[in-house]
Structure 1
Amino acid sequence: MQFGEENLWKATLANRFEGSVAPHNDIFDVIVIGGGFTGLSAALHIALSGKTVCVLEAKTIGHGGSGRNVGYVNAGLWTPPDEVEEILGKEVGIRLNAELANGPETVFDLIEKHQIQCDAVRQATLHCSETQHGLKQLQSRYDQQIARGAPVRLLDRKETCEKIGSERFVGALWDPRAGTIHPLAYAQGLARAAHQAGAVILEHAPAQSVRRENGRWSVNLPSGSVSAEKLIQATNAYGIEGARKNEFIPVYYFQFATEPLSDTHRRRILAGGEGCWDCATVMSSFRLDGEGRLLIGAVGNLNGFGGRIHKAWAKRKMASLFPELAGVDFAYSWCGRIAFTSDHLPRVVYLGENAISIFGYSGRGISPGTVFGKCAADWVMEGSQDAFPIPIANSHHEPFIATKSLYYEFGAVATHFISNRVVGF
């Protein structure tokens, strides 16, 4: 049985951006490959700077991970800030932590400035724990965030249960900088704003080959070619043919969504509008969308061998969290691919002279993607790797990619299978 074609975000998109299907002009200052958060943020900021820019999207705007996202606008990365600084070194780590801590501000400022209609709700997120072990992890994250001046709070069991409307949790880390959006509508809004600023946005324009000729980058398309002085590859987990492939661990994340809940349920379940995720080894998430649908998601591939197991888990998980929803059917199901790196940190890699690739958000695409897209625009203008909060590397090698990808999927299937066998988890 195949899942993943009834994408809630695609089904509820109110105002689709229509890109061009053929290039208006074949010569630009910058070519951006990939119409997701990173590429569109880059294109918008490049166009606002006065440079000519062309975005090449193989499918439609937001077709990849940007349109399959959970929709959390979070501050920072999955990797705790102390660990970020340990991996990257103090100076670089401090800069990356600081810039991504302000990531939600960048996103919500763009939404307001360009009047992007994407159900933006800045009502915080909750990183929740069902166990005392998980609560210790949250305490550590809280201490690290407080040391950096973050306005976070560690909630006790009572306040956590009141906010979520569930008795399952012993505590949560509350972050008021964060919020939720309709991710596909946000991507489409970025495309519309970039187009209005002068960017050329091409849909159904797969890059068939990329080469350097006479000091410029040339990209062949099914209907011609485009060239530019600089090239930004922003495909993240959705690679392209005919170009250097990003090295990352492909990890899948699925989601299910109900029809809108009743007013009675909405007054009790996540009444404040927070987005939530847990501390489990195989992470899961849950939130409401703008019309009150409940979304349940977790690591796993719906279209793989464990699809039925993942769906059964989602039904039981929903009933475990919110017993009043036992028996409620899902109306939507979809799945997306995430570009993991071993240390869960993003990468910027040179593809050649005046060409870079940006990838590896490891499940934190919206804020970091928007920030790194803006940094890419600064790189175009300044020509310096200091435009990014991390150094631009000459290469990135990710060992044992297939083995690690299978490890994540087998782990998710096994965890969900075992959970399905345990009454009430």
Structure 2
Amino acid sequence: MPELRQQCLWEHVTQPAAPSRVLNAELKADVCIIGGGITGLSAAIHLLEQGKTVILLEAWKIGHGGSGRNVGLVNAGTWIRPDDVEATLGQKQGSRLNKILGEAPGEVFATIERLGIDCQAHNTGTLHMAHNATGVADLEARHQQWSRRGADVELLTGAKCEEYCGTDKISAALLDRRAGTINPMGYTQGLAAAVERLGGQIFQQSAVQGLEREGGSWRVKTAKGSVSADKVVISTGAYTEGDWTNLQRQFFRGYYYQVASVPLQGAAADNVLKHGQGSWDTRTVLSSIRRDDQGRLLLGSLGRVDNKPAWFIRSWADRIQNHYFPQLGKVEWEMHWTGCIDFTPDHLMRLFEPAPGIVAVTGYNGRGNTTGTVIGKAFAQYLLCDNPDALPIPFSAMKPVSAPALRTGFYETGFSLYHAGQCLRVVL
């Protein structure tokens, strides 16, 4: 049996980036961006294109966090249904957010084309797959709500559903033609390359240790240097670290793991998601399913496996694959990896302005590829014109999530028990 190694597929299939630089000097810029994920890089590109000087600081390396480790779904909207967004935020604000995030996949694919990013981009839609009658009812509601807003969505049933999904275990699937898939590491590194082409400076392995007001500017300190800037963007998401900010108290961490097979060939494999969509199901502890450009089958779920033995990971992946795609026979699993998600209790993001000249965001709830792209652009526009109308939602007051560590532990324990039940064929 081949070794099942702990490695992120997207890093494995993406060309290595240029050697990184560590900040070891005292520099100045118009804007300092903390966090080298999609949000920060998107903000940097739009600021640079408007003539601003930008320095970006990344604690680890570009793509280290959720921006490079996610499933690669380019989804429209939020985790929750559009009617629920408007019920939570109010009709005016909720409708605006639904519109902006509904159009966000188009922004991602337009950015990829405009900047010439090579990242396995496929604007062929996504499939939200119903695993039971409750799931069908949920998809019927989502279909009705998005159709009422003019979205290009279709509820697939019967033979067409089986054709698109490649399994007879799904009775309905919501095809969202606005959406698609990418290699998220390729996308993130492509954004970083564009930042440097435009004259921006990126420093990696340069974790922020302090942020303080100094005259009319902000000084952002690292272990070996500092940046003095008029404006600061904090876009560190679930990977926020350090005592210099209380942003990590505004969300609770969740984990998401993925397992990738060796490249699969043959007629049986070709019929799995044959039209190129990525997918996820309607389970509370959901499973994501997609293929990459080399034919691998990628399975994922909420929780972490970086702390679990290889037999457990294989057992879980075998269980999901045999349920949905028994026609594949025995599948060899090649690699696994785990990433973090910044969750909020209502599954909606938060924008903050903790002090004049500083903007921050958290709570993408697993929708970072699209949301990060549009929020980065919105932050750039806001910093350029100081107009709140540039933002998709207003700034929120910083109100810590209660017991974030306990929430993380509670959910992770539940996910682990559920996945153990799947391995033991007690639940599916």
Q: TM-score, normalised by structure 2?
A: 0.95
Q: Secondary structure at the match of 2:135?
A: helix
Counterparts of 2:262 and 2:313, CA distance in 1: 19
Taking a change above 3 Å as real, the CA distance of residues 388 and 417 of structure 1, as seen in their structure-2 partners, is same
Matches within 5 A, 1:132-281: 132-246=133-247, 247-281=250-284
| 1:17 and 1:188 in contact (8 A); partners too | no
Return the offset for 1:211: 1.1
Counterparts of 2:419 and 2:309, CA distance in 1: 9
Is 1:37 matched up with 2:34? no
Counterparts of 2:103 and 2:31, CA distance in 1: 27
Deviation per residue, 1:298-337 (Å, 9 max, x gap): 0011134698645422221012111133431211100000
List runs of 5+ in structure 1 lacking aligned partners: none
Counterparts of 2:63 and 2:156, CA distance in 1: 35
| 1:301 and 1:307 in contact (8 A); partners too | no
| 1:104 and 1:177 in contact (8 A); partners too | yes
Matches within 5 A, 1:394-405: 394-405=397-408
| Counterpart among 372, 381, 386 of residue 384 in structure 2 | 381
Deviation per residue, 1:173-214 (Å, 9 max, x gap): 000110000000000000111111121111111112111111
Is 1:331 matched up with 2:334? yes
| 2:122 and 2:182 in contact (8 A); partners too | yes
Return the offset for 1:280: 0.3
TM-align CA RMSD = 1.9
| 2:6 and 2:306 in contact (8 A); partners too | no
Taking a change above 3 Å as real, the CA distance of residues 413 and 114 of structure 1, as seen in their structure-2 partners, is same
Count of matched residue positions in the alignment of Structure 1 and Structure 2: 424
Counterparts of 2:311 and 2:296, CA distance in 1: 22
Instruction: Look up the match of 1:393.
Output: 396
Return the offset for 1:74: 0.7
Is 1:59 matched up with 2:60? yes
| 2:23 and 2:226 in contact (8 A); partners too | no
Q: Secondary structure at the match of 2:318?
A: helix
| 2:117 and 2:191 in contact (8 A); partners too | yes
Deviation per residue, 1:99-157 (Å, 9 max, x gap): 00110110000100010000001111000012111100000000100110001000003
Counterparts of 2:51 and 2:409, CA distance in 1: 45
Most deviating of 63-72 and 406-415: 406-415
Q: Secondary structure at the match of 2:190?
A: helix
Most deviating of 260-269 and 100-109: 260-269
Return the offset for 1:374: 0.3
| 1:157 and 1:169 in contact (8 A); partners too | no
User: AA paired with 2:327?
Assistant: E
Return the offset for 1:403: 2.4
Q: Secondary structure at the match of 1:208?
A: strand
User: AA paired with 1:396?
Assistant: K
Counterparts of 1:326 and 1:412, CA distance in 2: 27
| Counterpart among 282, 289, 293 of residue 290 in structure 1 | 293
Return the offset for 1:52: 0.6
Most deviating of 343-352 and 142-151: 343-352
Counterparts of 1:87 and 1:408, CA distance in 2: 23
Most deviating of 196-205 and 404-413: 404-413
Counterparts of 2:160 and 2:399, CA distance in 1: 44
Instruction: Look up the match of 2:17.
Output: 16
Counterparts of 1:345 and 1:412, CA distance in 2: 21
Q: TM-score, normalised by structure 1?
A: 0.96
Taking a change above 3 Å as real, the CA distance of residues 405 and 308 of structure 1, as seen in their structure-2 partners, is farther
Q: Secondary structure at the match of 1:237?
A: helix
Counterparts of 2:134 and 2:185, CA distance in 1: 35
Counterparts of 2:142 and 2:403, CA distance in 1: 30
User: AA paired with 2:393?
Assistant: I
Identity of aligned residues (%): 39
Return the offset for 1:397: 1.9
Most deviating of 260-269 and 127-136: 260-269
Taking a change above 3 Å as real, the CA distance of residues 150 and 17 of structure 1, as seen in their structure-2 partners, is farther
| 1:244 and 1:351 in contact (8 A); partners too | no
Q: Secondary structure at the match of 2:238?
A: coil
User: AA paired with 2:366?
Assistant: G
Taking a change above 3 Å as real, the CA distance of residues 308 and 34 of structure 1, as seen in their structure-2 partners, is farther
Is 1:370 matched up with 2:345? no
Return the offset for 1:385: 2.7
| 2:126 and 2:179 in contact (8 A); partners too | yes
| 1:300 and 1:413 in contact (8 A); partners too | yes
Instruction: Look up the match of 1:101.
Output: 102
Counterparts of 2:160 and 2:136, CA distance in 1: 14
Taking a change above 3 Å as real, the CA distance of residues 106 and 285 of structure 1, as seen in their structure-2 partners, is same
Deviation per residue, 1:240-263 (Å, 9 max, x gap): 324213221100000000111113
